[in-house]
Chains A and B, each alone.
Chain A
Amino acid sequence: MSAGAFTAARGAAWLEDLDPRMKLCWLACVSLLSVVLDSVVGLGVLCALSSVVITGLRMPARAWGLLGFVLAAIVWGTILSQGLFYAAEPRTTLVTLLPPWNLGGWQLGGLRLYREGLTYGLAQSLRMIAVTLAGLAVCLSTTPPRLLAALTWLRVPSAIGFMTVASLRFVPLVLGEYQTVRQARWLRSGARQGINTRPWQPFAQMRVGIALLVPVIAAALRRATALATSVAARGFDPAARHAPYPPLRMRLAEGLALAALLATTGAIVAAKVLYWLYVGEMYYRPTLRPLYELARSWM
């Protein structure tokens, strides 16, 4: 059996060829760091690294465009909402969009854009983008068999590993079926968007919109039942632990890169923990002052 049997069918870009355990570790590290880091610079670097990694993926130009649009929408939406509605103090007004005014005896506070809010929004959006890109890089570059093998190797219970992989396989099918149901709705009466287009009847719209999910859910349940029967008949035991298959072999370079990744992540987390202990007045060492300064400025 050739190794190609378990690699990506689209032709292996470098990311697709990478050991799946390393990719899962990458996702875990990015997720951890996006929580640990507070500095916009640090989060920006993390986001940039995630962006570099995802370029190892082969996607059509249209998909890249869509991804860029979604990420830009996340950044814009998060920054703007935090900039306008930032409530913590201190806060510095950058622009006053609406001055305070009196409305029939009610004093309204006006609408302002705050500098701290924009910074906070930028940090939040960078967190989301870093994790989203890392997650996409892992899911889109790893075939389900290799992902399952990596999850098995990482001692993830069989039931969870299998469910993860099965859902990756079935998500496109379910989305396709929802599209078919929308088409069927049009075929059945001519409603363009698959829902009742009478804007003056919002509840009717909602009811029909939910109704369109019924055949999709019914089909998903039928498929889940058939799959459960099929895997049970093939001896699948969710409580059992098996050796990963296909066998995973990590190359030396991958091993070194993984060690570097884990060491860097560990060092950053350790630095932040020491900084938090210092800020919380629980632990202080004068020799660690450069580290505190580094953590405060860049992490």
Chain B
Amino acid sequence: MNDQPSAAIEVERLSFTYAGREQPAVRELSFRIRAGEWVVLAGATGSGKSTLLRALAGLIPHHSHGRMEGSVRLFGRDTRATSASELASTVGLVLQSPDDQLTSTSVAAEVAFGLVNLGLPTKEISAGIAAALAGVGLTQMADRSTAELSGGQKQRLIVASLLAMRPRVLLVDEPLSQLDPVAADELLSTFDELRAAGMTIVAVEHRLDEMFAKADRVLVLTDGGLLGEASPGDPALTTLFDKARLRLPDLPQVMHTLGKRPMPRVDDALAMLARRESRDSHDSYSRSNSDGAPRSNGKVLLSSKQLSFAYTRRGLPVLRDVSFDLRDGQRTALVGPNGAGKSTLLAVLAGLHRPTAGTIVCGDANASDNHVARDRDRSQRTSRPGLVLQNPDLMLFCDSVRDELALAPRERGLDERAVDIMIEQLAGQIGLANELDSAPLALSQGQRLRVAVAATLALDSPVLLLDEPTMGQDADQVDRLFAALPDDQIVLFATHDVRAITRHARRVLVLADGVLIADCTPAQLLADDELLAKARLRLPPLLELRRRLGLAGLTVEALSRELES
């Protein structure tokens, strides 16, 4: 017997204005989502996606100050008239950062949290924990500490803690943004299984390439209103994205450029293109990319020779005999699985740790002894590479963007006139000229990253190191950041983002267990399945299509041209 209404979510003329604000964050929204449907909410920053998710979860109006008009009904029940615990057993909410959501230090206790809140008896709680962990493939981890889990496992643990409460709707707010490609795949597979079991999924996500391949429908929001809706392969979606100034995922974009339906799945796109996969596609693809290791004739500006490092005197080495040169103007991606030593390598190169063996030469100076524990002379600071940490927010501590950019040149002893000129130049270059008097932490996520980068460029170091600059950023922000960097700036960036590698790197260093296992071009990396697996990378749909058709282009533009010809 199935007495469920067909609509899982019904939103009627929903508007919400936060307390102290005049403009509503969402306005006059009306739509229905069927039970078992997977819907993606797309929209630019500030379009109201997260507010809408909070309203769907019942946190608005129960836990938010502001004025709500209209209604949200979950399976026919108005969220206003439903208690918080009843809502919690109907709808679950997964947020961006798993670390920020964990309430406990034990896996089982984390899952128990919601069940205890429901006031269930002990036996039911224990049974619920076991079932929920089995549902996300974490049964073996039940006895572990949450600190032992990877980012992907933590996110699945949050999902398990919600599943234990048996919700029928799962709301996810950028759940992939902090995950590497393999962990993101695992989480999406979990969502897939849940949807197959009848769960309704509503997702906000910047990584649309992966999400579009799974979703049934996309709702496009702009300025708090609903611009329209379409299925991922519907040409109408292209128009909606244009109007909302959003970037289509790469594969649909190529299909649209070719005048085809913007199919997000590779199999559908292949069928649509009516091109057969060449039997020897992989061979020709590999041959086309076997052009040897990347070559550059520029001057060597950063050299790492036999670099080794361990955190403690008797501890296992985190880096072992890492040797490479970076030349003038070269942009290089540093890839590898979590724990491979990428962040440690960047920290050692920047002087946050003293190498246990080996040498670092930056410019013409030996930088091996210029590290945080020893550096006394700030005038020597430019002989080290500049590093932007994984969380750029922790690098911003001045009152205004102007002060952030002025910090390094002032402390180097530049006169105020020279400092002003430098600030204007950097701000213009990085697209922050209109934000010089803004408080850095009040800016958008992409802008905050650019402030941290500009403040590091102000060190005037020949080498810029970026630790996971793509983490939590949408593709446009990443493109804007790299476009803003000077052409002659050497950049070494650690990343898991294959799209960023193909668009912004000419060379790739692959690190595994602290050892440099490959030094190649992006195309060579993509041609080598073993290397991709070792680096825990996955081909996004566009590059999967490229591989299956044996094409050579790496970007949307190049592949579109190749397919047109």
B397 pairs with A237, CB closer than 8 A: no
**Cβ-neighbour of B397 out of A181, A190, A236 (below 8 A):** A181
Given contacts A187-B350, A190-B378, contact A235 B85 (CB under 8 A): yes
8 Å CB interface, A64-86 against B: none
Q: Given that A9-B148, A247-B122 are known contacts, is A235 also in contact with B398, CB under 8 Å in the complex?
A: no
Asked if B306 lies at the interface with its beta carbon under 8 angstroms from chain A, I say: no
Chain A interface secondary structure, helix, strand, loop or mixed? helix
Taken together as a complex, chains A and B put the C-alpha atoms of A191 and B393 apart, in Å, by 19
- Using known A-B contacts A5-B106, A145-B109, A245-B125, determine if residue A190 contacts B375 with beta carbons closer than 8 Å: yes
Q: A192-B372, A232-B84 are in contact. Are A177 and B394 (CB under 8 A)?
A: yes
Interface pair B118/A143, CB less than 8 Å apart: no
Nearest chain-A residue to B371 (Cβ)?
A186
B113 within 8 A of A: yes
Shortest beta-carbon distance, B442 to chain A, in Å? 10
A216, B398: Cα distance in complex, Å: 13
Give the residues in chain B near A219, CB-CB below 8 Å.
Answer: 391, 393-394
Instruction: Judge if A1 is at the interface, Cβ distance under 8 Å.
Output: yes
Chain A nearest CB, measured from B368 CB (Å): 16
Task: Establish whether residues A218 and B95, one from each chain, have CB atoms under 8 Å apart when the complex forms.
Answer: no
Query: How many B residues touch the partner, as a band?
Result: 35 or more
Binary CB contact string for chain B from 142 to 173 against chain A (1 if under 8 A, 0 otherwise):
11110110000000001001100100000000
Q: Which residues of B contact A242 (CB under 8 A)?
A: 116-117, 119
Q: Are A1 and B106 in contact (CB under 8 A)?
A: no
Q: Cβ of A58: which chain B residues have Cβ within 8 Å of it?
A: none
Name B103's contact: one of A177, A186, A191, A231 (CB within 8 Å): A231
What's the minimum C-beta distance from A113 to chain B, rounded to whole angstroms? Answer: 40
Interface residue? A211 (CB, 8 A): yes
Tell me, yes or no, whether A93 is within 8 Å of chain B by CB. no
B143 near A214 with CB under 8 A, answer no
Q: Does the CB pair B116–A245 fall under 8 Å? A: yes
Question: B386 contacts A5, CB within 8 Å?
Answer: no
Cβ-based interface call for B502 (8 A)? no
Complex: chain A residue closest to B50, CB-CB? A229
A145 and B441 contact, CB distance less than 8 A: no
Query: Closest CB of chain B to A230's CB: distance in Å?
Result: 4
Q: A9-B145, A235-B89 are contacts. A190–B112 as well, Cβ < 8 Å? A: no
For A227, list chain B residues within 8 Å (CB). Answer: 100-101, 103
Proximity string of chain B (267-304) to chain A, C-beta cutoff 8 Å, 1 when within and 0 when not: 00000000000000000000000000000000000000
Instruction: Report the minimal beta-carbon distance from B98 to chain A, rounded to whole angstroms.
Output: 10
Give the interface centre of A144, A145, A181 by most chain B CB atoms within 10 Å: A145
Q: Which of B87, B93, B126, B394 has its CB near the most chain A CB atoms (within 10 A)?
A: B394
**B459–chain A nearest beta-carbon distance, Å:** 7
Contact of A187 among B88, B147, B395 (CB under 8 A): B395
Q: List, in ascending order, chain A residues with CB within 8 A of B122's CB.
A: 243, 245, 247
> Complex formed: what's the CA distance from A254 to B264 in Å?
62
CA distance A180 to B162 in the complex (A): 32
Q: Are A214 and B395 in contact (CB under 8 A)?
A: no
A134 to B214: give the CA distance in the assembly, Å.
Answer: 54
**Does residue B97 face the partner (Cβ distance < 8 Å to A)?**
yes
Q: Is the CB of B165 within 8 A of A235?
A: yes
Say whether, besides A227-B103, A229-B59, A245 and B144 are in contact (CB < 8 Å).
no
Complex Cα distance, B231 from A127, in Å, reads 69
Q: A2-B142, A145-B105 are in contact. Are A230 and B459 (CB under 8 A)?
A: no
Confirm or deny: A183 has a beta carbon within 8 angstroms of a beta carbon on chain B.
yes
Does the CB pair A234–B59 fall under 8 Å?
no
Partner of B142, one of A1, A223, A226, A243: A1
The answer, yes or no, to whether B202 is at the interface (CB within 8 Å) is no
Contact with B108, one of A1, A190, A240, A247 (Cβ below 8 angstroms): A1
A187 and B399 alpha carbons, distance in the complex (Å): 18
Q: Pick the contact of A237 from B105, B117, B121, B378 — CB < 8 Å?
A: B117
Question: A6 on the interface (CB 8 Å rule)?
Answer: yes
A252 contacts the other chain (CB 8 A): no
Question: Cα distance A219–B97 when bound, in Å?
Answer: 12
Q: Give A49 Cβ to nearest chain B Cβ, in Å.
A: 28
- Whether, in the assembled complex, A296 has its beta carbon less than 8 Å from a beta carbon of chain B, the answer is no
Of the residues B162, B395, B399, contact of A215 by C-beta under 8 Å: B395
16 contacts between A and B (CB under 8 A): A2-B143, A9-B106, A184-B389, A184-B397, A186-B372, A189-B381, A189-B411, A190-B377, A190-B380, A192-B376, A212-B397, A215-B396, A216-B394, A218-B441, A230-B95, A240-B119
What are the 7 closest A-B residue pairs judged by CB atoms, nearest first? A235-B88, A145-B109, A5-B108, A9-B145, A226-B100, A190-B381, A190-B378
